[in-house]
Structure 1
Amino acid sequence: MTTAGARPMGVTPGGDYTAVIEVAREPDGSFQWTNLNIAAGTKVGPGILRPAPFPSLTGGFAATAWGSVNRRVYYANADGAVGELATDGNGWTYQNFTSGEGTPAAAWNSPLANSGMRSGTMALSYVDETGQLIIMKFSGDWTWGANPKLPQVPERSPLTAMQNGRGRFVYYFDSGNHITEVEEQGVAGKLTDLTTYASLPAASPISGLSAVGWGTDRRRVYYADRQDNLIEVVGFGDDGGWKWQNLCKLSVSQPKDGSPLAAAVGPETLAGVALWNEASEPLWASWDGGWCSRQIHTTVAANSSVASVVDSDGHPWVSYVDKDNHLSLWRGPEADWQWWDLTADLRLPAAAKVATQGPLALVHTERGPRVYYLTDEPEF
């Protein structure tokens, strides 16, 4: 379902505004797209809607899903207010956490990280205007907290979050470029400097960062070192400790300096990591008893981020923006891969070219994958 014909309140014909677009693949293999700011808007006159607040193009972006129809998308608007677009299968709604829950405004370029829904719980993390990490927790209702004793999050640092049977975790680079792990434990949170604790190789100043968790307490963190090697940090809980390995010595191609990273897990097991190789081509580095790389034969836009997810059948899905600024979707594995130029196939609004902290999100529901991106050229 497109949303042409619905004019946002206060926007003249041909006028620009920013919007969140969902592209959904249905069980029959067809695709449809929806302008979520319009879908979650309020009708105020014939053909006129008061849309959900427009997203900031300089901020972060996150999404999660569960079941067949439940989806949640998170972003900050131009005033830094953090909000949620939500559906349970019966239309879309919007709520503003900053006005409704009293959460601090997000920094102008704050990334967002969602831990994913597990047993009715999840967490959303972002950075406020002072550089403080804010953690919002959901368990039936939303609560939030901040610990001023935690290291501030530098402007350049990404955020990544995950959840396992033990709890919820957030990761970022501190001012010394060390990987900081924050485990949710009440308001305070448990802090671990993983770089020091696990004697990790120094991270590249422009490294991406991604983390996944599963099982009772399985944890994996991915980043690039100063020699542009892909490093996997392996956590087994308090008893097992931490170790690390250089995946480029285990058949994974060298990542491009500054490549974004997007790890994904399958049903209770690690699946792989999406990244760019040195030629700016998308790459799926996967684990199946050993590490290997599957190259996706196209070239990404210079400012594209990457998103990945694994479906219930174990197929990896990777989304990115290509060199022509087209939204793309790939499904593996290599023996049975498929690829779609979603922008050309669906005549989508163009992907926004400003992409600082991650304008893409990808989730998988029981009905199929859903890609989310930002546009500054929507159709009414």
Structure 2
Amino acid sequence: MTLWDLWKAVRTVTTLFDRYRLGELDLPNRVVMAPMTRVRAAADGLATPSMATYYAQRATAGLIVTEGVQPSLIGQSNPGTPGLHTDGQVTAWRQVTGAVHANGGRVFAQIMHGGRVSHPETTGLQPVGPSAVPAVGEVFTPTGPKPAPVPRALPTAEVSEHVHSYADAARRAVDAGFDGVELHGANGYLIGQFLSTGANLRTDRYGGSIGNRIRFAVEAVSATVEAVGGHRTGIRLSPGAGIWGATETDVPELYGALLAELAPLGLAYVHLEATTDEEVLLGLRAAWPGTLVVNPAFPMGPRPTDRAAADRWLGLGADLISFGRAFIANPDLVERLRQGLPIAPDDPATWYAGGDAGYLTYPAYRHVA
């Protein structure tokens, strides 16, 4: 038996309800609440009391990762999303982090720069991207879905500004009381656009070769680590997902190279979505020396993460498992999973509807005498 086989054999005894040390945080279980856009922020990207209640209701998760938070106005993708680029936004987020901590939870802010997945009607600005190639599909605007506009290709000299927007937002997140941040490198947003052979047609040091296409991601993570520490920094990735047309043709090599560059930075975790072949994901598990969070469900796919998928991935070497949609209608998801209780269905019509209905109105499980 090889050391790798022995390691895998030992790992199979891990359960969702075992404790885990993540950086300087002691997690009471291995259940992560995945980031999910809910568009409930107030004007000017301010977090609200309802958002504080929503996240506090779910504080039994080992770790909460918030919805995507824009690091700048031009980085905003959707209307109604919160930000971390003004003092007012920092103040507003403190009610959320305070409520989560008061309920015994731990919470990271997901920093999400939409890049080309945005619209002038949302921000008043032309979106930016690695190249002047529009996203595939329609984007949300205040007046409904619209075709994705052609972004302004970032000049080389301007790329650094957007690299450091992640670090600036991370500093604000820590000031707002967050335990750390997760950079959104998945699902076709700005980091993913630089990784993509379809969205990134650049010929400078940020385009072409794998080493050049991973440069933006590595610089953004490195700047964030310098700002708040590796133990407070994670990154989410969706290898091969192709969402919003951010296609990749060299997934194992691309993400293997990226993880090799990130490994010395001492990150809290890498968060992988199951968006490519299992063999590739297992290769990335073997290549990554640190904590690995896995979300077994394809984003917006027909099968959300369940207990069986979670247990299977723990056996395959994941350290933590993230659940998305199951947390929407089940604020007590950890206890339902622990006791084998039914998982309540959610109403997709309320995902982005605004207001408290379908947001704060899902109850904990009621035992019948």
Normalised by the shorter chain, which TM-score bucket?
0.3 to 0.5
Structure with the largest fraction of strand: 1
Structure with the largest fraction of helix: 2
Tell me: higher relative CO, structure 1 or 2? Use CA pairs within 8 A at least 6 residues apart. Answer: 2
